[in-house]
Structure formats: structure tokens, C-alpha cells
Structure 1
């Protein structure tokens, strides 16, 4: 999205198969961009085997390896989709008495816009800065090592940007025509494993 990271009340790392999210969140903490880190995420079909203790817990362990003190980390281990990431994180911060006016929202590079649109819908009074690892697509695919997975998930994220605003799950975002056409081509080529047939079910 082109947001420039700046100091915020908290950095929230959204759970996924990509430990790079934890690494970016740790780097932002070490740069003084947030005094507190919150990792959110249970497991999914993608992470059940590679992150058996849960995405948020594996993120916490990686951040500690990178020098973030354990006392600066909160873990939200129940969320199973982006909406729950936001709602459950908000509830945990309120429970802990953390005053939040701004959030560094850390996600996978191709999830920045979806994360932002969801957060703005569910927590409208907070200022969100959406960020991720600054990587081009080819480099990101190399880092994950699974081109099919990355493109399938990218296509799924775009589908949600197109459909979820009407369902009340996120704010509307402009999707340029050339992006829609690329999405349609990828669907036609079979990158469809992350598409949702039932848009009444938030994910």
C-alpha cells in the first residue's frame, strides 16, 4: 500500500504460514516503532503441520530469537481469519488496559490491503499503518519456496477485496481494471484453491 512505517501504539503481526511477518514485526519493534508487539493466529490448513503450536506462538518464538523481550510480546492464539485477528487483538489489548490510537499492521506483502480494509471496518477509530517485508513478488515466492501456494493465496486475497465489502467484512477498496483482469486470468489458469464459494462466511 505504500504506507511509511511510523511510531504507533502497538505492532500487530497477523498470523500466517510466513515467519517473515514475525521478523518484520521484530525489526519494527527494534527500530522503536512500537513499544509493544501482539501476534495473533491459531492454525489453518496451511500451518497446521509447520506451526503445530499455533501461528502466534511460533511468531513469538521467532521474535524472541531476534531480540524482542518476551515481556514486550502479547499472544492471541485463537484467531482463524483476518476478521478474528482484528477483533481478538482489540479485545486482548482492551483487557490488558493498553490505550491504542494507532496500529502498525504487519502482514504478508500481498495481504497488506486486505488486512487494512478489514481493520478499518472493524476498528474504525484507530489509525492503521499497513506494512510488510519490502519484497518484489519473485523474491517473495523464492523466500516461501512454493509458487503455487503464493499465487493461490494472492488470488484468494484479491477475491475477498472484490466480494467482502458487500458482506460488511471490510471497507471498499478501488481495484483497477488491469488487476481484475489479471485475477480473472489466474483463476482461468487454475489458481483457485483459496477461492471461497460462499461469501456469506467471513474468512
Structure 2
């Protein structure tokens, strides 16, 4: 009987993942159980390894296996361009496009009065510090085209006013759209057509 409870608990846990509901989670769990050797065991080992080794980059907020991520340690990416994104999923979306060759700064969210998220809860102070430390010449605000994203962009623009060239993503990003859901071509067009704030 306990195995059924374990299976039910696994289904319940999987159903909490984005994009999976109870039915999808049930199908995924059933598939993993049927394919223990080729799917379940390797997945278990990978989850354990990721849980043990992956951490947030102390510089930019990306994920990696060391204190600094691969992007922050790459000298090729130290070109003076810094792309500010809301979360790691947005950074990964930008990287999928393969167009941006600079570095990133992950805020960890957006300003939101309703959710009591102020500048102190985001990595905006670290962003301001990085401008001088890394000789940043352009900050590209690649925030989601939502009310909170635009509020955050205006706040950052005020904080960096006169210190650096500020641009934002242009055409291709729909109002209310989120970077993680955009295709690579849309991100490429938006990045190439960025405009001054």
C-alpha cells in the first residue's frame, strides 16, 4: 500500500511543476516507472547532482556550478554590454537566440507594490555597482512588457541616468508578453532594433 502512496505523492509533486497538471504528471510518472533503467534512475541521479552542485552566480544571478557562471568568467563576453533580465528563464531565452554576446544581470523579479517587492528585494544595488566595476558602456533593459516590467525599467533608468547608455528591447516583444515564451526570431528582431530610453 505504501508504494501507491509514494506514487501518488510523486504525481502530486510533479503536478506542481509549470506546464504539468495532474493528468500530465500521472502520464510522466507512469512512463518513468515503466522505464526505470533508462529514464527514472538517470533522472534521479541528475536531480541529485543538480541539487548538490548548481547555485546562483554571485555576480549576475545566473545559475552555474561555481561561484561565477560561465558567462561572467568569459573574457569574450566582457564587451561593455550588460543585458538586464527579470529571471534566469529570460536569460536562457536570450541565450537561445544566440544574438547577444555581452553579459547579463538577473534582477530576481520586478518591482510590484501589490506583492510588496521593492528595490531592496531585487538586485538593483548590485547592478549599479557592476556599472563601474566592469566598465559597462550600455545597459539593455530586456524586461517583460508588463506594467511591473515597465515600472522596473523606469526605476533602473532613474538609478543609472547619465552613467551609461540605456536601451530597451524594441519591436517584436508584445505588450504583456514574457521573454521566456517568445521564439528566437522575435527575440533577435527585438534585440537588434533596441532603442534609447
**TM-score relative to the length of structure 2:** 0.36
Q: Which has the larger radius of gyration?
A: 2
**TM-score relative to the length of structure 1:** 0.35
